[in-house]
Amino acid sequence: MFYAGNHVRGQFHHSSFLSGADNVCGGERVVWNGSLKLLTAKTGHYHADADHFAKAINLLAQRGIDPASYPVLVWDTWSNDTDPVFPCPSAKAFLDNSGKYGTWGSNSSVSQQSWTIFSAD
């Protein structure tokens, strides 16, 4: 299941969907005219790592959203840079280059629409 809602600081966050219960991944997404334009694992609550983010991307692929069709906001794991990689690689490039990229918070000091994927698996 994929939950999405607008973040309202102090009132509603992506962790609100499941009251902080376990999930596959959390983060932000940008959708424009029905198309996924950007996906991130930016979450201060769930601390999604690269493996969690890959699971989320694969779940979207199983539902027909091609990983080559949208970019992801990630960090270079081999760099001490606190800025994300630009231009953003596609979700497919993220999956194909395991270990090269990290997620928000995995190696950065960086503290729209939030999302949470829940899976009973």
Task: Burial-class residue 18 by CB neighbours within 10 Å (0-12, 13-18, 19+).
Answer: middle
Q: Which of 96, 98, 114, 97 minimizes the C-alpha distance to 39?
A: 114
Using the predicted structure, report yes or no on whether residue 72 has a pLDDT greater than 80: yes
Rounded to two decimals, the pTM is 0.74
Query: What pLDDT band is residue 8 in, cutting at 50, 70 and 90?
Result: low
Mean pLDDT of 66-89: 82
> What is the residue-averaged pLDDT of the chain?
75
